A and B are shown apart, each in its own frame.
Chain A
């Protein structure tokens, strides 16, 4: 139990890091700062998006692999308990999480291709769209993970 809990916490920490990175990049891309960044929000928007690409890909892969590993334990412990408690909506959103995670994984090669340096103007629109879509997927998965984890409470 300690092993899987540790793994879950590491998975959560990686997800938080990924969430920060992809949110930073998406905001900087969609709401770029035109003038000198002064406030915290303006500085948040002023980061160079290209410097996040490698980190986001590695963090996504690490988070995905850890999630896929923990999923084996979830399938015959937590999920069975959720079904017995008739928490079908929680089970359903968790099923959606596996699909969202897979779609995010599928997007990564194109995400990398659109962010290659020097940035191509041909892919400017696609770069914005794919980055936003990836950010939405990461946010959705993060929130669903929280819901599933909170369904029975930590350590119950």
Chain B
């Protein structure tokens, strides 16, 4: 079995990790710096508005770029099949969470009794991770031999779908 070269492993992992971290940073609001464009001031980490609007985008990018670089360096040191399996399980978990949480909210909306537990993101997340770990174990060995280069566009497409979903209020206003 041939293994991928280090540059490819680094760049593929960087792309995957950066897309995931960027989505997390935008949704949880984790900027490494905050820019205040009206007064031209730059603050470390998250700070509230001072005068006029505030910009976190540069901070989100910085957080995800640094985090993804660290993960990509680490990835070059681990066996390629571990890396492939980790991304595979992560992708399974993300898709499972999406399906489970959508189903949970669907059932909650139509149930004749109050099922508040179904509204919990954590419940769907825990089940999704467990299901993904199981699927990861059951996946054919051939799926984990080499790092699949297609992750580098599949994961960012998923990230864009999530980011687009969170922007939907702009279009339903």
Residues of chain A having any CB pair with chain B under 8 Å: 68, 71-73, 75-76, 79-80, 86, 88-89, 91-93, 95-96, 98-100, 102-103, 105-107, 109-110, 112-114, 116, 122-123, 125-126, 129-130, 133
Instruction: Give residues of chain B (106-165) contacting chain A, Cβ–Cβ below 8 Å.
Output: 149-150, 152-153, 156-157, 159-160, 163-164
With A113-B8, A125-B149, A126-B149 given, can you name 4 additional A-B contacts, CB distance below 8 Å?
A86-B173, A103-B160, A110-B8, A133-B157
Contacts of B22 in A (CB 8 A): 99, 102-103, 106
Asked whether B52 lies within 8 Å of A110 as measured between CB atoms, the reply is no
Give how many A-B residue pairs fall within 8 Å (CB-CB): 100
Asked whether A126 lies within 8 Å of B170 as measured between CB atoms, the reply is no
Residues of chain B having any CB pair with chain A under 8 Å: 2, 4, 7-8, 10-12, 14-15, 18-19, 22, 26, 35, 37-38, 52-53, 55, 57-58, 61, 64, 68, 149-150, 152-153, 156-157, 159-160, 163-164, 167, 169-171, 173
Asked whether B150 lies within 8 Å of A126 as measured between CB atoms, the reply is yes
Cα distance A79–B52 in the bound complex, in angstroms:
12
Question: Contacting A106 at CB < 8 Å: which of B18, B37, B53, B163?
Answer: B18
Contacts of A106 in B (CB 8 A): 14-15, 18-19, 22, 64, 68, 156
Cα distance A86–B173 in the bound complex, in angstroms:
9
Q: Which 5 A-B pairs have CB atoms at the shortest separation, nearest pair first?
A: A92-B170, A126-B149, A109-B11, A110-B11, A88-B173
Contacts of B160 in A (CB 8 A): 99-100, 103
Q: Find the A residue at minimum CB distance from B148.
A: A126
Contacts of A76 in B (CB 8 A): 37-38, 52-53
Q: Find the B residue at minimum CB distance from A127.
A: B149
Contacts of B156 in A (CB 8 A): 103, 106-107, 133
Q: Provided the pairs A76-B38, A95-B170, A109-B11 are in contact, do residues A133 and B153 lie with their beta carbons within 8 angstroms?
A: yes
Q: Find the B residue at minimum CB distance from A130.
A: B153
Asked whether B150 lies within 8 Å of A125 as measured between CB atoms, the reply is yes
| Central interface residue in A76, A80, A102, A123, by most chain B CB within 10 Å | A102
Min distance, Cβ B170 to any Cβ of chain A, angstroms: 3
